[in-house]
Amino acid sequence: MSKIENKIEASDENINDLLKDKKFFIDYFQREYRWQEKHMVALVEDLTTAFFKSYKSGDARSEVANYQSYYLGPVVFSVADGKNSIIDGQQRITSITLFLIYLNHLQSESDNQVSISNLVFSEKYGEKSFNMTDEDRQEVLKGLYDIGAYKLSEDEDDETVKNIVSRYNDIHDVFPEELTNGALPYFIDWFIGNVILVKITAYSDENAYTIFETMNDRGMNLTSTEMLKGYVLSRISNRIQRNEINELWKEHIKTLHEREDTADLDFFKAWFRAKFAISVRARKADSENEDYEQIGTRFHDWFKDNHDVKVGLTKAENFYEFFKQEFDFAVKSFNFIWEKMANYDSKYPSLYYINNWGIANSIQDAMLLAPLLSSDDKDVISQKLELVARFIETFTVRRAVNFKKFGSSSIQYTFFNIIKNIRNLELSDLKEELKREAETIEYTFAGVEKFRLHQQNRKFVKHLLSRITAYVDNKVGKSSNYETYYNPSGKKYEIEHLWSDHFDEHRDEFDQERDFDEVRNNIGALVLLPNGTNQSFNSDIYDDKLPHYLKENTYAQTLHPDFYLKNPNFKNSDLKAINFEPHTNLKLSNIEQRASVVEQLCEDIWSTDFFQTPND
């Protein structure tokens, strides 16, 4: 091996230095992009939180250079045979690229744009190409860069492409609204200048892979869970009791790891925040981390510093009794919650709903645990979980139909206060508190009138239509449920536009195609249909599709006049109070009327009456 091939270099580089006008090849063995929603959500929340610790309104842009930096980890490159290959770190670089594309769209209408396009693609001989070179990704990255969207093909697009689209949409969902105004250029300056990675460069593939293996295989650093366990056991002086808690601990951590490698960390953060945290960092520059943040970063240290005053553990026997009872109950509750979130159960439907459309797990898990008591019986636990989950879904749906976000950073203070307010409440008090909170949610369902499908909210629209469609079915006695439409084990349902995408057919009502598109995507102009049916109807006019709707779900059937003839199930149902009307033609006024029906259905489905006790 030559002298240059033996060389290994390491340097701190910000994102601008790392990516500007560079070209990277993704090695064949790690081409799949595997980040999940939780990874992208955590990245966006960590970055924006770090930025807000320094940013002050009124700062000069030049002040950003003095803001706190953020370390994003190492990346390993091999520079061999004239190619600059990513050996370790392509997941992060892909995610950074998606974030840059999103930020570039976000600033497109701003007068203070930051030049970041050359961090995404470079130009040579007049031709542009993406800095990440993988031909399988070029089409999806081009779609996201050009228009902020990419239409997936179930048959042709692989999991990497699907994950790229999903993670891009995750960024849209959780990016804080506070950064979409005057603070945006400051944030972009900070992101490309103050977010640091360690770039490790080897000049042979052999050395690069050795570095990769060393970074990923060696070292067994203790986790926060293991350090907490060591401290807890050290405080129990009785050997028999210590061994008992040790065995209980091992068994529970095993069950958590069977679900996910980091589930133990998620559990302790949720438990301590749910039951013992009393403070959260103020959202302003130079604020110190409080209970909420300390638990999120080093919960074992937080416990050591606070177990006496905030947890109430002062003696050895306190530790033994607490972990034998409360730890045992909390882990079982946590696992139970996740089981019901993953698998539809008619007794806990809202837990399943919020797994598909809820708030960040970092908040949601803590909120679900907060009111539970180890003295509660199973029925009370069931009711408490359904109440909290129902509130979460009500909150998220109301905000979503008003085009408002609810990422962790934007709702953390609101929900932290709710967590404290519902902590350890009895069932009747919990109902009263959640009803009060539900009635003070800022946004109402009046926003449904203008609500429409767009490139980043397809997941929510599918959720909303699935809830509505199942609700209407159930009211006329059908056994279908939300899972039938949203996450079926058999037939797959897709969003169907009642209008075909032919602007020329609607020039009598619209001068501009943009106005036509907005109405075509309005919630009143959408239904769910089985995948094959949806595809075959795709370009048909409404008049031709209407007879087929009579063969589909009840919500689609209500478009047809024959649905209302000799239909005792409908006439005897609560749906009579909803202003359903048949629509033999579908003009703008018909879609507006249909949107008003959706608003009424939303008011019924997410009524705050759910939180009342029978005697209220």
pLDDT digit string, tens, across residues 83-136? 778 888 888 999 999 999 999 999 987 888 999 998 998 766 566 678 777 777
Look at residue 132 in the predicted model and tell me its pLDDT: 75
CA-only gyration radius of the chain, Å: 27
Quote the percentage of the chain above a pLDDT of 70. Answer: 91
Polymer length in residues for the chain: 616
Beta strands at 70-80 and 83-88: parallel, antiparallel or unpaired: antiparallel
Q: Which residues contact 460 (CB under 8 A, 6 or more apart)?
A: 357, 400
Whole-number Å distance between alpha carbons of 433 and 169: 33
- The pLDDT, as a whole number, for residue 76 is 86
Query: What is the percentage of the chain residues whose pLDDT exceeds 90?
Result: 66
Q: What is the mean pLDDT of the chain?
A: 89
Q: For residue 565, is pLDDT > 80?
A: yes
Least confident of 19-23, 196-200, 426-430, 536-540: 536-540
Residue pointed to by tokens 């769209």: 105
Helix (H, G, I), strand (E, B) or coil at 122: strand
CA distance 564 to 562: 5
E-assigned strands of 108-160? Answer: 121-124, 127-130, 132-133
* 6 pLDDT more than 80: no
Give the pLDDT band (50/70/90) at residue 348. very high
The CA distance from 221 to 219, in Å, is 6
Looking at mean pLDDT, say which of 107-111, 261-265, 373-377, 439-443 comes out highest. Answer: 373-377
pLDDT at residue 342 above 80? yes
Q: What is the pLDDT of residue 440?
A: 92
Instruction: Tell whether the model's pLDDT for residue 615 goes beyond 70.
Output: no
| Chain position carrying tokens 């307010």 | 421
Q: How far is CA 359 from CA 274, 380, 405, in A?
A: 15, 24, 10
Q: Which of 38-42, 561-565, 590-594 has the lowest mean pLDDT?
A: 38-42
**pLDDT at 354 (0 to 100):** 96
238 pLDDT above the threshold of 80? yes
Please report the pLDDT score of residue 433 as a whole number: 97
Residue 289, C-beta contacts closer than 8 angstroms, at least 6 positions apart: 281, 297
**Residue, of 475 and 87, whose pLDDT is higher:** 475
Is residue 560 within 8 Å of residue 460, measured between CB atoms? no
- pLDDT at residue number 523: 98
Q: Residue 374: is its pLDDT beyond 60?
A: yes
Report pLDDT for 26.
79
Per-residue pLDDT, 406: 75
- Say yes or no to pLDDT of 211 above 80: no
What is the tens place of the pLDDT at every residue in 174-193? Answer: 898 888 888 999 999 999 99
Q: Which pTM was predicted?
A: 0.85
**Segment 248-277 mean pLDDT:** 95
Q: 505 and 543 in contact (C-beta within 8 Å)? A: no
- Phi-psi region at 46: left, alpha or beta (left = phi > 0; alpha = psi -120 to 50): alpha
Long-range contacts made by residues 253-262, C-beta under 8 angstroms, separation at least 24? 253/225, 255/331, 255/335, 256/331, 256/334, 256/335, 259/335, 259/338
Query: Could you give the 3-state DSSP secondary structure of residue 184?
Result: helix
